[in-house]
């Protein structure tokens, strides 16, 4: 098995295996909410999968599935004029709706989301929201007495999709591999920041149109790109939406430099004469964990 096969197998290992279960539950929740809030039993209308699943960058073992459900504007008027914390009341109403479909499942309302926690560790973070004229969403935040917040995930999803297509399908695998690195090396960095930095990096990376045979260089160069980020910087702008993506100042860059150094060692083993393939794979597994083939 050569280098290209290593990374092909690695990327295959990272793919979400619980897709059918997630899809079934997503449709069930959507159907329930459409039944209670709209005059339809559709299991697709008014619902949007967001977060890493929406951007297609989630990996196996990712337990949180983020979804937005659009409610009628009449519901906004009702709860915006609610005495007391209307946002909290709205979350409780949506929670009660979902409970009709999953009466024995742990369902809570936490600040901005309804959290549906299944026994197999898959968790849905459901955000009830209202569409705005620009395509963004207004959603409730019950914290601090209640307020309305805004989010705009569709341009982010579209931007990731378009750049992935423009780069020979290499952006999504890079985002997924870096999630494995985050888990393996306990890196304090969020998924959207990984995707944002990967989006910025790959747009001008010289091998962006190549394939698995260059994934060792892609990982090495991206680690270097992350390590060089300004350690005093507080936020980056998400692709598409331009929303602020906050990160802990100066905390992921050190581990990115460690990843870069290990990747350089792995590549040195790969390029030796004769090749030291076992040593190279051990270095990659040190970076990415057991999903990388041994």
Model pLDDT, residue 139 = 97
Residue 3, pLDDT score: 95
CATH 3.30.460.90-classified regions of the chain: 16-151
Name the fold adopted by 16-151.
Answer: Beta Polymerase; domain 2 (3.30.460)
**pLDDT in the model for residue 248:** 85
Span 174-228, pLDDT tens digits = 999 999 999 999 999 999 999 999 999 999 999 999 999 999 999 999 999 999 9
DSSP conformational letter for 143:
G
| 82 pLDDT more than 80 | yes
Amino acid 151: pLDDT: 94
Burial of 102 from C-beta contacts in 10 A (0-12 / 13-18 / 19+): middle
pLDDT value of position 62: 77
pLDDT digits (tens, 9 = 90+) for 28-39: 999 999 999 999
Q: pLDDT grade, residue 83 (50/70/90)?
A: confident
Cα distance between residue 220 and residue 224, in whole Å: 6
CA–CA dist 284, 268 (Å, integer): 12
State the pLDDT confidence band at 56, using cuts at 50, 70 and 90.
very high
Q: What is the mean pLDDT of residues 61-69?
A: 89
- Per-residue pLDDT at 250: 80
Reading phi first (left if > 0) and then psi (alpha if -120 to 50, else beta), residue 188 is in: beta
pLDDT in tens, 108-162: 998 999 999 999 999 999 999 999 999 999 999 999 999 999 999 999 999 999 9
Write down the pTM of the prediction.
0.94
pLDDT in tens, 220-279: 999 999 999 999 999 999 999 999 999 988 889 999 999 999 999 999 999 999 999 999
């Amino acid at each position: 098995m050569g280098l290209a096969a290593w990374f092909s197998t690695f990327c295959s290992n990272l793919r979400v295996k619980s897709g059918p279960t997630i899809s079934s539950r997503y449709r069930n929740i959507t159907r329930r909410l459409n039944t209670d809030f709209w005059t339809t039993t559709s299991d697709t209308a008014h619902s949007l999968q967001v977060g890493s699943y929406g951007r297609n960058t989630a990996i196996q073992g990712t337990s949180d599935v983020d979804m937005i459900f659009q409610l009628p504007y009449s519901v906004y008027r009702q709860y915006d004029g609610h005495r007391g914390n209307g946002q909290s009341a709205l979350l409780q109403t949506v929670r009660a709706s979902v409970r009709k479909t999953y009466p024995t499942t742990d369902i809570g309302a936490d600040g901005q989301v309804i959290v549906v926690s299944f026994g197999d560790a898959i968790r849905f973070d459901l955000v009830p929201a209202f569409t705005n004229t620009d395509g963004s969403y207004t959603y409730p935040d019950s914290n601090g007495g209640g307020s309305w917040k805004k989010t705009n995930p569709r341009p982010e999803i579209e931007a990731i999709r378009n750049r992935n297509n423009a780069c020979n399908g290499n952006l999504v695998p890079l985002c997924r591999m870096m999630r494995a690195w985050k888990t393996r090396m306990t890196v304090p960095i969020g998924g959207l920041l990984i995707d944002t930095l990967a989006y910025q990096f790959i747009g001008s990376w010289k091998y962006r149109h190549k394939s698995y045979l260059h994934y060792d260089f892609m990982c090495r160069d991206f680690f270097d790109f992350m390590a060089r980020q300004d350690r005093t910087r507080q936020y980056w702008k998400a692709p598409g939406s331009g929303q602020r993506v906050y990160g802990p100042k100066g905390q992921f860059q050190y581990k990115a430099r460690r990843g870069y150094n290990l990747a350089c060692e792995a590549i040195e083993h790969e390029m030796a004469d004769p090749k030291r393939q076992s040593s190279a794979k051990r270095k990659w597994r040190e970076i990415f964990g057991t999903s990388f083939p041994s």
